[in-house]
């Protein structure tokens, strides 16, 4: 059985529900993790997702801001509640599908100043990572787990358009990369997209709206990630190679999100 997982910062699910439907029709994800849905649970367009063939929904919404959801073709059970956002924002939701726990996160962007003492938003971001890291370290690495979402860190020099120019900008500063690396190491996680497209290939999943032509400027960042626990290594490498990709063509659609969807396949 193939299980296709997708993550996408949709930047308002109600505004772009037709784009979600198009993506689902074209790529057939079994489990779709959305971030920045920007609506409360009762405002989520449930009927549209039923029509897409993703009737099983787990939603953590918030009025006008943040919000995450998991939509699935397959039935699931609720996953554990994750105490990782000290501000109580709707930034995480988890489910268990086909024996795999899927955790969906919208990690704080962190504001503009990369200093914990001067910028509470940046401190919140690092605190979020630290809490996640403690949870990951306490888990059995053999337990099947997928971490998905907009993690708001581009970890490698090949995940940003310019390492030199971005190294002092929030999303690619050394302290953020260190925090992400600590999380990855704590769980022994496999970066599925990087396994499919090894460095030094440049990979981006986000491009600013400021550029008139995002491909011409190509000043992108890889902020959206799908990670697998060691317990899923065999499922990820079942055919000898990882099947994962960034769907950057979606960024070309009319009135798109500034993020592109990312998918990865597991063979169960």
At residue 238, the pLDDT reads 82
Confidence of residue 82 (pLDDT cuts 50, 70, 90): very high
Q: How would you write the chain as a 3-class SS string?
A: CEEEEEEEECCCCCCCHHHHHHHHHHHCCCEEEEECCCCCHHHCCHHHHHHHCCCEEEEECCCCCCCEEEEECCCCEECCCCCCCCCCCCCEEEEEECCEEEEEEECCCCCCCCCCCCCHHHHHHHHHHHHHHHHHHCCCCCCCEEEEEECCCCCCHHHECCHHHHCCCCCCCHHHHHHHHHHHHHHCCEEHHHHHCCCCCCCCCEECCCCCCHHHHCCEECCEEEEECHHHHHHHCCCCCCCEEECHHHHHCCCCCCECCEEEEEEC
Looking at every residue in the chain, the average pLDDT score rounds to 97
pLDDT band at 250 (very low <50, low <70, confident <90, very high): very high
Please check the confidence at residue 259 and state whether its pLDDT lies above 90: yes
pLDDT (0 to 100) of residue 257: 98
Instruction: Provide the CATH topology of domain 2-267.
Output: Deoxyribonuclease I; Chain A (3.60.10)
Query: What's the whole-number mean pLDDT along residues 115-134?
Result: 98
Q: Is the pLDDT of residue 234 over 90?
A: yes
- pLDDT surpassing 90 at residue 212: no
What value does the mean pLDDT take over residues 124-145?
Answer: 97
> In the prediction, which pLDDT does 149 show?
98
Residues 220-246, mean pLDDT to the nearest whole number? 94
Give the pLDDT mean for 155-162.
Answer: 98
User: In this model, does residue 216 exceed pLDDT 80?
Assistant: yes
- Neighbour tally for 1: CB within 10 Å: 9
Rounded to an integer, what distance in angstroms lies between the CA atom of residue 65 and that of residue 35? 10
Query: Cα 66 to the chain's mean position, in Å?
Result: 13
- Rounded distance, CA 45 to CA 231, Å? 34
* pLDDT single digits (tens) 11-47: 999 999 999 999 999 999 999 999 999 999 999 999 9
| Mean pLDDT of the region 65-74 | 98
In DSSP terms, 5 is beta-bridged to 31, 264
């Amino acid at each position: 059985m193939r299980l296709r997982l997708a993550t996408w910062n949709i930047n308002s699910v109600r505004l772009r529900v037709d784009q979600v439907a198009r993506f689902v029709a074209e790529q057939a994800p079994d489990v779709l993790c959305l971030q920045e849905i920007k609506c409360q649970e009762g405002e989520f367009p449930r009927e549209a997702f039923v029509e897409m063939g993703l009737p099983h929904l787990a939603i953590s919404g918030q009025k006008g801001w943040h919000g995450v959801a998991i939509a699935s073709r397959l039935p699931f059970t609720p996953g554990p509640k994750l105490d990782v956002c000290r501000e109580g924002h709707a930034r995480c939701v988890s489910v268990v599908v086909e024996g795999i726990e899927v955790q969906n996160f919208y990690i704080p962007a962190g504001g503009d100043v990369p200093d914990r003492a001067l910028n509470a938003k940046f401190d919140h971001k690092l605190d979020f990572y630290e809490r996640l890291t403690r949870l990951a370290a306490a888990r059995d690495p053999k337990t099947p787990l997928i971490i998905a979402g907009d993690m708001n860190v581009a970890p490698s020099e090949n995940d940003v358009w310019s390492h030199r120019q971005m190294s002092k900008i929030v999303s690619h500063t050394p302290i953020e990369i260190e925090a992400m690396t600590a999380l990855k190491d704590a769980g022994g996680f496999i970066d599925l997209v990087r396994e499919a497209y090894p460095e030094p290939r440049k990979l981006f999943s986000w491009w600013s709206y400021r550029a008139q032509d995002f491909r011409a400027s190509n000043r992108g960042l890889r902020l959206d990630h799908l990670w697998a626990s060691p317990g899923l290594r065999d499922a990820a490498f079942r055919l000898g190679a990882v099947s994962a990709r960034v769907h950057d063509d979606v960024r070309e659609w009319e009135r798109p999100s500034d993020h592109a969807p990312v998918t990865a396949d597991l063979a169960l």
